[in-house]
Amino acid sequence: FFVGLFSRLDINVFKWLNYLATRFNGTFHMSELSLDASPLVTNSGDDDSVETVEICDDGDDDDSDSDYDDSNNDDDVIEVVTTKSAETVLRERLKQAKSSGNVYTIADTTTFTAASSSSMRTTFQTISTAVTAMRSSNVGSRSGVPRERQGIVLESVSGIKSEMELFKATRMVLDHKTGKITPGFGEKSGGRIVRIAQQPFAQGGLRNVYRMKEIIVGSIRNLVGKESRHEIPDVERLRFHTDTSNCQAKACKYAKKFNAEVKKSVNLEENKDIHRISVLRAEVYRLNDASCKRGFRYLAVEEELKGKYEKWNSNNGFVREAKEDDSDDNKMQCQVAQAFSHFSYEKSGGEEMVVDIQGSNYVYTDPQLHTTLKMLGRADRGVPGFNDFFRTHKCNFICKGLGLEARTKAKDDSSLHS
């Protein structure tokens, strides 16, 4: 977090800090603090090792999400004052803040004395503690820190396959022109019937993965449904799937280019064992679920993968290297996956990289992209993500055959913003 001191007369600074908080999904909170030359008076009660400070919101910042209510704790409040005039001001503001429910009481176990502390130093420590307390009280809401969904127990942990529930569903697709996810052409609202497990069988960094089946006349499609493992504000539920769909669309584009480049490379003509790769494209299914907000639940749905599931690299620099006891095909799969990530970076001119390569054989699912501008969701780590990959990646014969430059960090890293 960022703490700044400025004159409230400088409206431009106020506007700029408020803009930064909005731009990066943060919370802007402005409290007035008097920077008197004299130190703050500490608690003179029985326990003189505890200092209690009150930061009072003067009502300028309407924090309607706060559940804190201090109206019944008058006996626990210790006021911190420096002079009589400051005391009067604080009392007036405290009364006003209490009436609106915006009072934050912070206890600091450090004792400050006139000899060891200045008013400026104490003020900074007070602000820091206050901001931390306010952020903690709003975890998962305004602070931007994701909150885990409650009541989730993986089937692999419980050892029991959960029951499957029946829902009406609508298939939705990403319109690349508008960037919105809407029902597919000719799709009837609630015209599909699906069954989905009550609990996920697997979990990734961002998603829970559920067993799912679509019931079609005369047959059943075996699917998997993927849903954010965190609580997401209602207005952002489709945006989450939009980021996923965009990642998959871009990964598919790079996979096609990779296959074409490998096929025409004269340096790789003798290597007939380099398989073509593909990326599963997920569709979004909207389930009619009365227990969800607005009566709908959204999942990314794709075909169930067959075969052994492998994770070849991640978005934080992990790279799975081939092991001596791996089969020849497994070693090839490993080298193809790492070369594909490297290829996507070079092919994009250093602007993007496909990572989080995982799946079965040469069919990948749930890829993530790093982009220089961090435009593709929370897992898009930008330039630091590029660098983490190159720190662990070792170019193999496919990288060399495609003429990819061996790197230890992103190109022109010093000029790129992280």
Per-residue HEC secondary structure of 266-335 comes to HHHCCCCCCCCCEECCCEEEEEECCCCHHHEEEEEEEECCCCCEEECECCCCCECCCCCCCCHHHHHHHH
Q: N- to C-terminal Cα distance for the chain? A: 17
**pLDDT tens digits, 2-42:** 666 655 555 566 566 666 666 665 655 555 544 444 443 33
pLDDT of residue 208: 94
- pLDDT, the chain, mean: 76
What's the average model confidence in pLDDT over 166-179? 89
Q: List the one residue out of 197, 241, 214, 261 whose CA is nearest residue 398.
A: 261
pLDDT of residue 268: 87
pLDDT class of 415 with cuts at 50, 70, 90: very low
Tokens, residue 314: 């991640």
Has residue 52 got a pLDDT over 60?
A: no
- Please, is 36 exposed, middle or buried when counting C-beta atoms within 10 Å of its C-beta (0-12, 13-18, 19+)? middle
Range in 115-119, 243-247, 272-276 with the lowest mean pLDDT: 115-119
pLDDT of residue 271: 73
The top-scoring range by mean pLDDT among 11-15, 70-74, 178-182 is 178-182
- Does the pTM surpass 0.75? The reply is no
pLDDT class of 145 with cuts at 50, 70, 90: low
Please give the DSSP secondary-structure letter assigned to residue 1. -
Q: How far apart are CA 251 and CA 399, in angstroms?
A: 18
Q: List the one residue out of 310, 302, 303, 301 whose CA is nearest residue 361.
A: 310
Would strands 180-183 and 164-175 be described as parallel, antiparallel, or unpaired?
antiparallel
